[in-house]
């Protein structure tokens, strides 16, 4: 039996980074939004022990460096099974882009391995061991993430959102971004998330567009001005608002329709780009 799963990307509609905690992490407040840009995973049980990863499309870490492998192995240990698992992965979400591809793959592998091996425990408790934003991908379309991002509260909204996402040919290390933000003294100085939540809850599109903000933008743009230029190009191409994705390096622009986003994409042939949407009707396998 082969189980096929969709592994969607996310964007952060807003992201506030607080001061460092005693454990070395930062408290954050962020509004996650699932989008329809997605990787695909096929999971097939087998007699050969262990987890075998085959990357059929795109780039991804190998072995234990891959969160999907670690997630599947975690379920195997929890179930005490000797049965192995083959994961075939087709990557469309670029690495080091702030789109959460690795975390989403981990959540998909958790769900899939749990179904195949008959694990009936709580997946969220395992997800947080793999990464702070992995639990989001086990939940709904839009959520407020607090703590390290693992404490989630769903946000109902009827607003359809259409994005053009662009990424330069560089990656941004999340660890570097946090360290640079610490050095800048800018932690704990923004308050975007509350405004974003209120706008979504009231389905106020104009207020949502005005609420977008990301604590990482100043330090990332200072180090990588080409990313700042991509944000400006999105606005010049008709985006109603634009923002850095997570800690980068991708940037998204919000457009009034998907057609408008697709039209603007023609002007970004020099960089990786993808048109994506998040709608209330969206249902992912």
In the set 16, 39, 133, 231, the catalytic residue is 133
Which pLDDT belongs to residue 49?
Answer: 86
Q: Where does CATH 3.30.70.890 sit in the chain?
A: 156-278
In the set 10, 16, 39, 91, the catalytic residue is 10
Which pLDDT belongs to residue 281?
Answer: 63
Alpha carbons 89 and 109: distance in angstroms, whole number:
10
Q: Where does CATH 3.30.230.10 sit in the chain?
A: 3-146
CA 63 to chain centroid, in Å, comes to: 21
Tokens representing residue 246 in the block: 């997570």
Query: DSSP labels for 24-86?
Result: S-EEEEEEEEEEEEEEEEEEEEESS-SEEEEEEES----GGGSHHHHHHHHHHHHHT---EEE
Local structure of 181: helix, strand or coil: helix
Alpha carbons 51 and 54: distance in angstroms, whole number:
10
Which pLDDT belongs to residue 93?
Answer: 97
Q: How many CB atoms lie within 10 A of CB 244?
A: 30
Per-residue pLDDT of the chain (285 residues; tens, 9 = 90+): 899 999 999 999 999 999 999 988 899 999 999 999 999 999 999 888 899 999 999 999 988 899 999 999 999 999 999 899 999 999 999 999 999 999 999 999 999 999 999 999 999 999 999 999 999 999 889 999 999 999 999 999 999 999 999 999 999 999 999 999 999 998 999 999 999 999 999 999 999 999 999 999 999 999 999 999 999 999 999 999 999 999 999 999 999 999 999 999 999 999 999 999 999 865 343
The secondary structure of the chain in percent helix, strand, coil, rounded to multiples of 5, reads 35, 30, 35
Which pLDDT belongs to residue 47?
Answer: 83
Is 23 noted as a catalytic residue in this protein?
A: no
Which pLDDT belongs to residue 140?
Answer: 87
Is 10 noted as a catalytic residue in this protein?
A: yes
The class that CATH gives domain 156-278 is alpha beta
Alpha carbons 28 and 16: distance in angstroms, whole number:
6
* Residue with token string 């969709």: 6
pTM beyond 0.75, yes or no: yes
Q: How many CB atoms lie within 10 A of CB 57?
A: 12
Q: What are phi and psi of 191, to 5 degrees?
A: -150, 65
Phi-psi region of 3 (alpha: psi -120 to 50; beta: other; left: phi over 0): beta
> Which CATH fold topology does 3-146 show?
Ribosomal Protein S5; domain 2 (3.30.230)
């Amino acid at each position: 039996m082969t189980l096929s799963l969709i592994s969607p990307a996310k964007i952060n509609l807003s992201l506030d980074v607080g001061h460092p905690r005693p454990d070395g992490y930062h408290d954050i407040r962020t509004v996650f939004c699932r989008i329809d840009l997605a990787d695909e995973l096929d999971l097939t049980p087998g007699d050969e022990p262990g987890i075998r990863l085959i990357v059929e499309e795109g780039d991804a870490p190998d072995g234990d460096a891959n969160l999907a492998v670690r997630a599947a192995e975690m379920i195997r240990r929890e179930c005490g099974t000797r049965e192995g698992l083959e994961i075939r992965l087709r990557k469309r979400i670029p690495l080091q882009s702030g789109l959460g591809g690795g975390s989403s793959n981990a959540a998909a592998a958790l769900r899939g391995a749990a179904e195949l091996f008959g694990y009936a425990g709580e997946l969220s408790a395992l997800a947080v061991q793999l990464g702070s934003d992995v639990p989001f991908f086990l939940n709904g379309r839009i959520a407020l993430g607090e703590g390290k991002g693992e404490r989630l509260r769903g946000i109902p909204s009827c607003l359809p959102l259409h994005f053009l996402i662009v990424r330069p040919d560089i990656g941004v290390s999340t660890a570097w971004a946090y360290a640079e933000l610490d050095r800048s003294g800018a932690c704990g100085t923004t308050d975007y998330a509350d405004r974003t939540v209120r706008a979504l809850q009231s389905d106020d599109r104009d207020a949502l567009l005005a609420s977008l903000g990301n604590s990482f933008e100043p330090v990332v743009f200072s180090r990588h001005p080409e990313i700042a230029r991509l944000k400006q190009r999105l606005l010049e191409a008709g985006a109603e608002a634009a923002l850095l994705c997570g800690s980068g390096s991708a940037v998204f622009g919000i457009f009034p329709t998907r057609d408008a986003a697709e039209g603007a994409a023609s002007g970004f042939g020099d960089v990786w780009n993808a048109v994506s949407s998040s709608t209330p009707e969206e249902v992912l396998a």
